[in-house]
Each structure stands twice: as C-alpha cells, then as structure tokens.
Amino acid sequence: MKKIRLIIFDLDGTLVDSSRDITNALNYALKPYGFKAMTVDETIKLVGEGISRLIEKVIGTERMEIKNDVLRRFLEFYSDHLTEYTRPYPDVTDTLDKLSTYRKAVISNKREELSRKLLEELGLAPYFSHILGSDSTPEKKPSPLPILTVLKREGLTPAQALMVGDSNLDIEAGRKAGVITVGAGYGYRPLEALNGADFLILERLSELPDILTKIQTED
C-alpha cells in the first residue's frame, strides 16, 4: 500500500484565480510604452514561467531595453494589489481542511515573497508547512529541484508525495521528481497540457480526497 504523506500544490491556477490582478498589474506596467491593454484571457495563456518571463513574452525581443523598468512597475503595482480580485477556487479551503492529516506545501513560479504574502492575505498560509517560489531554489519548475528540496526537508521519498498543478510545468516537474502527479483541469491551461498527469481533476479541488483514497488503497 502506498502511503502519501505530503501534497504539493501549485498556486496560480490551482489554489487561487489570480488572473485579473496579474492582468491589471501587467497593464499598469506596460501603459507608458504604448502597448495595447491585455485581456485576462490573453494573460492566462502566458503565465506560469514567472513574472520576468511573462514580461519578456509580452514586450518581445525587440523591446528588451524596457524590461527592467516594466518589471519594476509590475512588482510595485502587483505587491500592493495582490488580492484585490484574487480568490481561492471553489472548495479549496474546505478541501484543505479535509486533508488535515497530510503535510502540505506550495511550489509556485511566482516569487516566494509574493506567494507567501498572497497566501497570508487570503488566510491560506497556515495550511502549508513550506511555501517556495521561483527564487527559493536555483531552478524553478519544470525543474524537479523545488519538489526535491521539499522532500528533503520533510525526510520523505518521492513515492510518499503528490504534486497538484494546472500546467505542463507542474506535471513535468512532478514526473522528473518521481512523485505522483494530479492535473487541475479547472485552471489556466487546456486539458491537453495535462496529458502526462497520473490523475486528473476536472472541475473542483474537492475531487482530490477521492483520488488520494484511491491511491492509498491501491496495492
């Protein structure tokens, strides 16, 4: 029987919908440079690899000289508006309560300080023993290093952990680390991005406890 002890969650698109606040910060940062305002739908197609990479995708290689200023403006605005519209997805808090017997961690490609502050503002931080961001380890997802770092801190093997995320970056990181992977199909990415996941949540995080029961009772 497998014994899952640790559940690792992605943040944006998995635990919370932060798309509007990220879009607002991006538009604020870009406004002086004549870019057309981004829509939420346009933004969520680009997020996942961290803020610096998001800005690079939007401004393009021909405007790299403005990147640092755009990044500064983004961080300045976003840190003050982290949870203006950002909310947990349906059933997230109830599900975390139901999973009280498991150790839990967040691994995000958002910077650690912003990830931690966001979770604190939403009252979710106490659920997690570890909160890692893009700058917490030398490599970020899809590298397995953040997951392996948490496993080492907990003294657990990959077989004792599970990764839940809405993007191919989460699934790839989880598979490279050797943990069981669960795709959050309700998040930012299309279902095809989660093809490599061991299990799939289609509508709400509340499906996760049943998946865990199935895993724990398998021979």
Query: CA 34 to CA 15: how far, in whole Å?
Result: 33
Q: Is the confidence at residue 102, as pLDDT, over 50?
A: yes
Phi-psi domain of 123 (left: phi exceeds 0; alpha: psi -120 through 50; beta: other): left
Q: Which of 201, 181, 173 is nearest to 92 (CA)?
A: 201
Distances (CA, A) of 63 to 35, 76, 110: 11, 20, 23
10 is an active site residue: yes
Higher-confidence residue of 190 and 16: namely 16
- Which pair of structure tokens corresponds to residue 213? 């029961």
Query: CA 21 to CA 24: how far, in whole Å?
Result: 5
Strand partners, 59: none
What is the model's pLDDT at position 219?
Answer: 52
Here the contacts of 133-138 (C-beta below 8 Å, separation 24 or greater) are: 133/108, 133/109, 134/50, 134/51, 134/108, 134/109, 134/110, 135/111, 136/112
pLDDT band for position 47 (cuts 50, 70, 90): confident
pLDDT band for position 190 (cuts 50, 70, 90): confident
Question: Can you list the domains of the chain with their CATH numbers?
Answer: 6-17+86-217 (3.40.50.1000), 19-80 (1.10.150)
Share of the chain above pLDDT 90, in %: 87
Strand partners, 113: none
Phi, psi of 161 (to 5 degrees): -135, 160
Query: CA 215 to CA 3: how far, in whole Å?
Result: 8
Q: Is the confidence at residue 103, as pLDDT, over 50?
A: yes
Question: What's the whole-number mean pLDDT along residues 103-111?
Answer: 96
Q: Is the confidence at residue 2, as pLDDT, over 70?
A: no
Given 10, 12, 17, 166, the catalytic residue: 10
Phi, psi of 200 (to 5 degrees): -135, 130
